[in-house]
Structures are given as structure tokens and as C-alpha cells.
Chain A
């Protein structure tokens, strides 16, 4: 496996961040247009906190909901893509540190990734 320099990792991190935000914005915009066309006339009231339906709360639920063509499901998929962008950046750094054979930072990065996975999928 070819070694990576810090500069190459930095360039890859930059591309990941820009690409992730662009993709998230595109998906969200598509979902938003669909939502406003079909449900834009509805009354919006957010004074009381009710909580989102179950299908918009988990990674699996969101992917299924968007797959069925639900407008809000597609928006939430865009949001999920945005949340995944910094996480992908950390995963990319993990690959970078593995290639640099920097054991300390492989452990540090894996720990950050584990905390992020726990936040998104664990029980808090």
C-alpha cells in the first residue's frame, strides 16, 4: 500500500468535505421542492414539541422512507448525508494514518469514530 503524506490527506479531506456538503444540499433541495409542491399549503406550527415519527429518526428508517419517495424522507436523507460528511472525513483520516503507519493516531482516530458511531446508532 502506497504511503500517504499529510498534504495528500489534507487534500482528500478538503474534497470529501466539499463533495459531502454539495451532495447533501442537492438531495435536500430536491426533497424540499417536492415537499413544498405537495404540502406547502399546510399550516405549520412548531410551538409544541411532539417529536418526529419513528421513520425519520433512524438511518434505516430514513433510507426506507426516502426510497418510498416520501418528500420529507428525501429531505431527511440530505440531512443524514450532511451529518455523515464530517464522519467520512474522520474515516478518511483513519485510512491516512493507517497508510502513514502512525499507530498513536490510528488509535486516536478510531476512538473518535467509535464515539460518533455511538452517537448516531447507540443508546443515549
Chain B
């Protein structure tokens, strides 16, 4: 069976030719069907860029391949990719406050998605939208359909976005820090919802986050990213119990935990970070000088 997502040697640069910055430096990653993979790393590690490269955001893919269920997403013609997006591959965006259209009612926005991919009638789409909202445990879904995004809470908006992500039975969901903008109690509910829907729909999830606690809770496997490189990957339990890479160890030591005193917290040593970055830049120079 082909993997849900297979990324090989992905290099991504952003910006124009003259001042482009490497963001991903040869990332490889395999995601089996139904697998939940946590992608962790500090700000600027390239974790969001990895998610965006799969979706058509303004990323320039310099090298590498991205295969979705055995089909090459990079070489795929635009209309074909558009028919996959939102239907087979879905995104749960980072910020629920700004990811909904401010002047369209919730129902109308879900209907756009459903009508685009499933060719439903307007009435049928609204019916289905109400069912979807009920599935993410929104009470009075019919009333919520009538509301504008600014009239519902942040947690509820994130639920609407989750409902939209799972609306067309995707086999791959990219969750780009879906809990970052939410407070801790709402975070927990959102995580449980994602987990519940994932099981129901059997989708693979690429869960991008900087929160190791979240990864420990819902991800079976995890990937540690830094400076656009994969430093370590494996089963979550194993990586957290026996981290092999010094960066992963440092990251764990810097994570606050309820069962340890706050004094035990140690920041990631600056020397380690510096080392990793200079390694990454050395790699860049090698690539530039490389195929001459």
C-alpha cells in the first residue's frame, strides 16, 4: 500500500532569486495511511513551511518530490491538484480568528466548500453543513449556520474549521498549529475533536506544533525539525523516553512539566543552536557549490 504522504529530499526557498532564503533543506518524511505524525520544532524550523509546501502556498519548491497516495503533487497540473485540495487533502489552519471570511455567514462558507467538491444543491449543502457542525459537537448547529464568524467564539470558529477540513472525507489532514491561538481548556477539546474525527474518517494527520505535550497526547509518531532539517524521527513514546539527538534532549529539558519543579527547566543551550545553524549554512554552501 502506498503511503498517504511521501516527501523526499524537499528543499524550499522563499523570496525572489536575488534574496532567497532556504527554509527547508532536504526534508524527507513518510506518512502511512491513518498515521498521526507530530512535527515539532522551534519558530523558524520550517514546520509550517512543510505543511504549506504540500498545499499550494507561495513556496518555491527548489528540489525534491511530494507524493500524495503515489501521485506527484509537484508535477501535477493545477486543475488536478485543485480537485484534490479541500477534498482529499485538507488543512486545519493556525488562526481561527482570521481564517474565516468575515462577511460571510458560517453556513455560506461551509456551503462553498461542499458545493465546490460534492456538487450539492444550495439547500443540500446547508443540510450537510448542519450535520458537520453537529459532528464537531456544536449545539444548535442550524443557528450557528446563520451567524457571522465574529459572532461566535474562537473555540467555535476552530470547530467550524475542523468540520470543514473533514467535510469531504479527506485521507490527509494537515493541522498547522491548530491549538496555538486557543486557551488551554479549549485546546484540549479541539485535540479530542481532531482525534475523534480522524478515527471516524480514517485520515492521516500531519500535526504541526511546537507543543511537545500535544504531540505526546495524540501523535503516534513524531519528527523533530530544526533549521529545515529532520533531526530525529520515530515512535512518539520512544523519542520522548530515549531522545537520541542532543537537540531533542535539550527541547525536552526545556518543556515545563507538572511533575517537576520549575527550577529543573533548562533553556536550550545557545551553543547547540549555533552549531546546528552553522551546520545548516554549511549545507547551503555545499548545495550551491555542488552540481557544477
B and A form one assembly: no
Report which B residues bind A (CB closer than 8 A): none
